[in-house]
Amino acid sequence: MKRIVLLALAASLAACQSQSDPDLDQTGERPDLPQQSDTLLPAMKIPTPKGWDGELPTVPEGFTVTAIAKDLKIPRQMLLLPNGDILVAEGSGGHAPAVRPKDVIAGMIKKRGKSSVEGGNRITLLRDSDGDGQTDLQTTFIDGLDAPYGLALVDARYTWPTRIIWSVSNTHKALPA
């Protein structure tokens, strides 16, 4: 039986629902683009963050969805390794400087829609030792990173392109036995 892995994301899936008009034809050479909306006070709806309540996506016949990891701290990207292990990059950034006064205020407003979980700033390793689809080992693989994001397997090394590129070369680490 095939299996679709699902990370237990702290972020609410409902927050991702699009508000766009379903009648608009947004494909092809001449898409119906919505009118430009430019107001002095931007119309905003900030979703309230909500934990995952066990809701699962609908999948085709023959598939099942299982949560394979919980208690992650802002998981953002993951990488499936050739041996079946999964690396998860956790972090939430937040170093962007305030270029304008608006950035300060927008930051406070956007924070209301953000999970209260602090970014992990780490890479977590998930291992399914016996192949039953359940995670048997969930451990911190690399700690003390600065908001790791994209992961790539390069030359049998795991790299995380973020602010400090040089850390790639000197903190590569062997998988646990």
Residues that bind another protein (CB under 8 A): 38, 40-41, 99-102, 105
Handedness of CA 93, 99, 105, 106 (dihedral sign): negative
Q: What angle do CA 122, 167, 77 make, to 5 degrees?
A: 40
Residue type at 17 in one-letter notation: Q
Going by the DSSP 8-state scheme, the letter that residue 16 receives in this structure is G
**33 vs 174 by CB, closer to another protein:** 33
Residue 105: φ, ψ to 5°: -70, -45
CB of residue 99 vs another protein: minimum separation in angstroms? Answer: 6
**33 vs 41 by CB, closer to another protein:** 41
**42 vs 84 by CB, closer to another protein:** 42
CB of residue 112 vs another protein: minimum separation in angstroms? Answer: 18
**42 vs 133 by CB, closer to another protein:** 42
Q: Phi-psi bin for 25: left (phi > 0), alpha (psi -120 to 50), beta?
A: beta
CB of residue 136 vs another protein: minimum separation in angstroms? Answer: 49
**33 vs 99 by CB, closer to another protein:** 99
CB of residue 101 vs another protein: minimum separation in angstroms? Answer: 4
- d(CA 20, CA 66) in angstroms, rounded, equals 30
41: which 2 tokens?
């006070």
Residue 87 CA: distances (Å) to CA of 42, 44, 96 = 39, 35, 26
CB of residue 35 vs another protein: minimum separation in angstroms? Answer: 15
